[in-house]
Structure 1
């Protein structure tokens, strides 16, 4: 075995063991923590993501990078402490605005990725890259908190199940896209941004996501399932792909491989939640703002 293959095998082993450790931790956070404590965990994740985002800006100074991350911590803490009742934030104006901003931003990313590299003129401005960071991370926080607190007083774990559903949907579609892309993938999806992604992989991801949706509808202990769930799940999966492509686009422009090495075998926080930063606010926003506010 040559050194390249051995290194690749070691990376895959590390990724596997890290995943095995992280999955129960994520599930415990979703189901065991109160909304307030859950919010603090999400703020920590967002802070680390903001710190990694500074690599897209091109900042080398740790003072600048840490200062940028702390600014997110302060903003998100101010948002969280502004809630009159954290278990009933679905009607909070700042949450509604945050989700609308998220929906609009992820529609914009479709055009940014489709027109890449023509859209790169926007990436030459530090102010624009900083703005993109806020448009990615703040709606992600709003979406996470919205989903976690759905009907909290009626069913403490209802929001936890919906969050787990979106995560499984994204992770499953990612795995399906990888498997189909590796075995039958031929037609490149976005060769200028991510050469390994294929249309066959996209199809495979959608197939797996529909299977996950069916399993959730059939077996999940959720008392009401919206009849549009399969349709909205397809939209969310497609947007999660654009979340992945958007981060890949920023990394390509910044000439970096991973956002950091915080997670052994996986890269950085943003490398793991890039798809979720799109999927979570889009799923929450479509349900809350478009389809009758989670009144399934």
Structure 2
């Protein structure tokens, strides 16, 4: 029993310098995809967010909702196609996207945080508006590229003790709502808020490389090396926008960006408040070559 108590004390002592360092700072957390549908890590994340708020850190949660959108589109027998990983979003599909993101997923997350002892308020990029976009292409329909982020509403809510929960929608120049990749929203919001951290919750442990036939986690990258990995074709699928958003965020003034396994209980706290962390951290370029050996690695 004494040993267990000492272990708990050691955990708190290890976390103390990080709590001091980040008191008053803003963390932007991106949450979505398959991770959002797993109940146990979901409940632990809600508690993690509440804890962060209580110790003086301001979390802002950005979410998508791809699986939930697909589910409702299937029920309504509406076809959904993708071009280069982006959902083609016509008017009918956009109505479903907006309904699911703002009306279902956002409110479910807000309710979960509030029932865990926090105070959350749900918004989308349309409110304010927080996010303005331009159409990416006529082929994609109502899919937007971010042109402006106004973080004032998020800052006001944080200052009043709330946890803002932001759905990945934006306002177009035609006054219509647009669908936006949630990873890119999180990155741009982190820059606009001058966040200390951008944290991507995903369903893998981070970015891995294969060495002698064995995968191992890359615990740290800088933007220069991360860009080399992108150019090499080693990063694909859903990891592409995540890494691109992390690079953009760190280059835009965000202190650190992290890609972590959201399937693990309390993965947010383990990444932030332990010396070793559990995922991949992207740090600012230093001009040094400490990461060059990773450029030619197989991911």
User: With structure 1 as the length reference, what TM-score do the two structures score?
Assistant: 0.28
User: With structure 2 as the length reference, what TM-score do the two structures score?
Assistant: 0.28
Whose helix fraction is larger, Structure 1's or Structure 2's?
A: 1
Whose strand fraction is larger, Structure 1's or Structure 2's?
A: 2
